[in-house]
Amino acid sequence: MTLSFENRDSRRNDESKPPLRGVRILDLSMFLAGPFCTQQLADLGADIIKIEPRNGDSTRALPPHFHKGESLYFLSANRSKRGMVLDLAQPEGREVFHRLVTGADVVVDNFRPGVTAKLGVDFATLSEINPRIVCCSISGYGQDGPYAKRPAYDMIVQALSGGMSLTGEPGARAVRAGIPIGDICAGLHAVIGILAALTEREVSGKGQFIDISMLDVQVAMLSYQGVYHLFSGEVPGRQGRGHASIPTYASFEAADGNDVLICANTEKMWQGLCEVLEQPELLLDARFLTNELRHTHRDALEPLLTQAFLRRSRDQWLELLTAKGVPCAPVNTVADALIDPQVRHRGMVRSLTHQLGGEIDVLGNPIKLSRSPCGTFRSPPLLGQHTDEIMRELEYAADEVGRLKERGVIA
User: Are 50 and 381 contacting, i.e. CB atoms less than 8 angstroms apart?
Assistant: yes
Rounded CA gap, 102 and 24, in Å?
11
Rounded CA gap, 76 and 364, in Å?
10
Rounded CA gap, 262 and 330, in Å?
9
User: Are 37 and 365 contacting, i.e. CB atoms less than 8 angstroms apart?
Assistant: no
* DSSP summary character for residue 357: S
Beta bridge mates, 297 = none
User: Are 70 and 380 contacting, i.e. CB atoms less than 8 angstroms apart?
Assistant: yes
Closest CA to 238 of 317, 172, 327: 172
Closest CA to 22 of 44, 52, 38, 50: 44
| Chain centre distance of CA 404 | 36
Active-site pick, 183, 299, 315, 336? 183
Could you give the C-alpha distances from 190 to 124, 206, 269, 361, 390, in angstroms and in order? 19, 18, 38, 26, 25
User: Are 176 and 155 contacting, i.e. CB atoms less than 8 angstroms apart?
Assistant: yes
Q: Cis (ω within 30 of 0) for the bond into 64?
A: yes
Which H helix or E strand runs over 328?
strand 328-330
Rounded CA gap, 81 and 280, in Å?
58
User: Are 306 and 298 contacting, i.e. CB atoms less than 8 angstroms apart?
Assistant: no
Rounded CA gap, 399 and 402, in Å?
5
183 is catalytic: yes
**How open is the CA angle 53-81-117, to the nearest 5 degrees?**
40
Tallying the residues shown for the chain, one arrives at 411
* Residues designated catalytic: 183
